[in-house]
Amino acid sequence: MSNANVAFVLNAHLPFVRHPEYPRFLEEDWLFESISESYLPLLRMLNRLKEEGLSFQLTISFSPPLIAMLTDNALQNRFVHYLQQHIELGQKEVQRCKDEQPQFLEMAQHYLDGYIRNLHEYEDLYRMNILDGFKALEQSGHLELITTAATHAYLPLYEEYPQAINAQIELGVQSFLTTFGHPPKGFWLPECGYYPGLEEHLKYHGIKWFQVASQSMLLSPDKATYGGYRPVRCPNGVAAFPRDYQATSLVWSNTTGYPTDNVYREFYRDIGYDLSMNYIRPYIHEPEVRVFTGYKYWAITGDTDQKVPYVRAQAMERVKEHAKNFHYVVNNRNHRLRATMGGAQPLFFLGFDAELFGHWWYEGIDWLEEVIRTSKDRTKLVTPSSFLAEDATPLQTVRPAFSSWGQGGYSAAWLDGSNTEYYRHIHKAITRMEELATRFPDQTSLKQRFLNQAAREVLLAMSSDWPFIIYCRTSVEYAKKRIEGHLKNVNLVYDDMCKNAVDTEWLVKAEKRHTIFGDIDYNIFNSERI
């Protein structure tokens, strides 16, 4: 029996959050939690497997905002401080658990060891730039690295603005090229958001493949002969890989997915909330804002607050069972599919947010490692590019349907009653930027910097994160401040440029605050340029 072809594709993305104007800023913890709990442990795991000589291939998309933050000196230094603080807390926790809660001692020590290892690797091995670690894994043939939209914009809501779509893709490709030294073959569509025709922009920038939501094949106006089990070619030749909803749900579902198993670690119970303010105060945010510290000792247990202590060994046993189950499910389906596909090879395309592994699902990286370790003679891990290169069956030409992986399968999450009000302003900001780029092409000096900053602000306003956060009601205040702030900044540049003026005070402060896309050229918004 032939092994199932499985493509794991991880989307590593966080919104651009950088506030050096404050000694410590709450939302910067999103980045630090992700590096500490997902990216560094993922690198560690992949390097371990590589050193052991295991054969595997994964795909990771790094968004330009994440790349900008991972390579930002101020944030790098703050991350070191974050780790040092967590090490100090861990040392206190080990002592406290010895004295008061010995049942948690093992985990306290485990977390402490993890932070110490993170600090060592971050400073000494990667010299504060973990992207070098991923680049090395790409060079050794274990990873395919790809890009995504410049600020992870949900593209279907900008279909009417081809110049903005082009800017999102072009800067995504440029950011990748600058970071990794070669153009990307693949493009992660933010939120799997696809509209018919988007592939034309992707092709223009040399993209060979992108991913789409599961339902985009069944709802296509064409008959996709192999349903969602093989990539297709769009009419312009770019390949589209449908995400396998069923296989993805084995992990992704928050009702039945592996991460919901009761023996796994509970994400929400954290000493940042559970211990006394006097004890925890130095490790939370001022004045007394409780935060997650990463020290979590309880198992999911069930829908109850009567949690049982987390037992690492028990969780690791369950990881093995879940990895085995994963292989069984995909290979069982692979066997049945091959009988109906007339010799064509099925492909199971699994796309996830990278931060799911480690940060959210604490055992997720262990599970991925176990899946890779036990894949020999069972499951073939491929990348979309390697599949396209090796597969002998020609791809069928199919037009994927408009779709996303969001709630409802379309644009509802990003165009909800809670966030619709912003689109009139974002769209206006785009048209104003286009107008500025056309009226004032090829400026130099201050005006060039002023217009470049406006272009940054437009792109940052387009990020899919802000409307989604507002929709989910997680960090609403911050998301609103960000989106409104960027839009106000665009309006200021527009008004000033119309008066042939440049506000240098504003410009210096804005450049200092939003350092992303240091080499941006605002002419990217000039519709006469392409």
Footprint of another protein on residues 148-187 (CB under 8 A)?
156-157, 160
Indicate whether 423 belongs to the interface with another protein (CB under 8 A): yes
Which DSSP symbol is given to 41?
A: H
Indicate whether 29 belongs to the interface with another protein (CB under 8 A): yes
Residue type, 332: N
Q: The tokens of 50 are what?
A: 């590589």
Q: In whole angstroms, what is the distance from residue 223 CA to residue 149 CA?
A: 29
- The distance of closest approach from Cβ of residue 92 to another protein in the complex, given in angstroms and rounded to an integer, is 19
Which DSSP symbol is given to 403?
A: B
Indicate whether 194 belongs to the interface with another protein (CB under 8 A): no
Indicate whether 23 belongs to the interface with another protein (CB under 8 A): no
Cα 195–chain centre separation = 21
319 in Cβ contact with 367 (< 8 Å): yes
Positions in 238-257 near another protein (CB under 8 A): 242, 244-247, 249-250, 253-256
Indicate whether 258 belongs to the interface with another protein (CB under 8 A): no
Cα(first)–Cα(last) distance of the chain, in Å? Answer: 51
- Choice between 268 and 317, CB closer to another protein: 268
Number of residues that bind another protein (CB under 8 A): 120
Transcribe 306-318 into DSSP letters: -PPBP-HHHHHHH
Indicate whether 191 belongs to the interface with another protein (CB under 8 A): yes
SS3 350: strand
- Choice between 30 and 440, CB closer to another protein: 30
Q: Which of 377, 473, 499, 500 binds another protein (CB under 8 A)?
A: 473
Positions in 440-469 near another protein (CB under 8 A): 465, 468-469
Q: In whole angstroms, what is the distance from residue 106 CA to residue 310 CA?
A: 10
Q: Half-sphere exposure of 524 toward its Cβ, with a 13 Å CA cutoff?
A: 25
Indicate whether 32 belongs to the interface with another protein (CB under 8 A): no
Q: In whole angstroms, what is the distance from residue 294 CA to residue 339 CA?
A: 47
Q: The tokens of 146 are what?
A: 């790809």
Q: Which of 47, 177, 484, 515 binds another protein (CB under 8 A)?
A: 484
153 in Cβ contact with 463 (< 8 Å): yes
Q: Which of 4, 6, 8, 13 binds another protein (CB under 8 A)?
A: 13
* Strands 239-242 vs 232-233: parallel, antiparallel or unpaired: antiparallel
- The distance of closest approach from Cβ of residue 124 to another protein in the complex, given in angstroms and rounded to an integer, is 28
Please report the beta strands in 105-177, taking only residues with DSSP state E, as ranges in sequence order. 143-148
Indicate whether 338 belongs to the interface with another protein (CB under 8 A): no
Positions in 371-400 near another protein (CB under 8 A): 399
Q: Which of 340, 393, 397, 527 binds another protein (CB under 8 A)?
A: 340
Q: Which of 46, 337, 382, 455 binds another protein (CB under 8 A)?
A: 337
- Choice between 117 and 480, CB closer to another protein: 480
Indicate whether 146 belongs to the interface with another protein (CB under 8 A): no
Indicate whether 10 belongs to the interface with another protein (CB under 8 A): no
154 in Cβ contact with 116 (< 8 Å): no
Q: In whole angstroms, what is the distance from residue 524 CA to residue 528 CA?
A: 10
- The distance of closest approach from Cβ of residue 72 to another protein in the complex, given in angstroms and rounded to an integer, is 17
Q: In whole angstroms, what is the distance from residue 388 CA to residue 137 CA?
A: 20
Q: Which of 355, 363, 369, 370 binds another protein (CB under 8 A)?
A: 355
Q: The tokens of 501 are what?
A: 């003026």
Indicate whether 33 belongs to the interface with another protein (CB under 8 A): yes
Q: Which of 163, 220, 345, 452 binds another protein (CB under 8 A)?
A: 220
- Choice between 153 and 337, CB closer to another protein: 337
Between the CA of residue 17 and those of 85, 155, 358, what are the distances in Å?
A: 20, 21, 21
Indicate whether 279 belongs to the interface with another protein (CB under 8 A): no
Instruction: Collect all residues with Cβ–Cβ distance below 8 Å to 312 and sequence separation of at least 6.
Output: 106, 107, 110
Helical (H) or strand (E) element with 245 = helix 245-252
- The distance of closest approach from Cβ of residue 30 to another protein in the complex, given in angstroms and rounded to an integer, is 5
176 in Cβ contact with 147 (< 8 Å): yes
- The distance of closest approach from Cβ of residue 120 to another protein in the complex, given in angstroms and rounded to an integer, is 25
- The distance of closest approach from Cβ of residue 482 to another protein in the complex, given in angstroms and rounded to an integer, is 9
Positions in 503-522 near another protein (CB under 8 A): 503, 505-506, 509-510, 513
- Choice between 72 and 142, CB closer to another protein: 72
Indicate whether 30 belongs to the interface with another protein (CB under 8 A): yes
Which stretch, 68-76, 84-92, 98-106, 498-506, contacts another protein (CB under 8 A)? 498-506
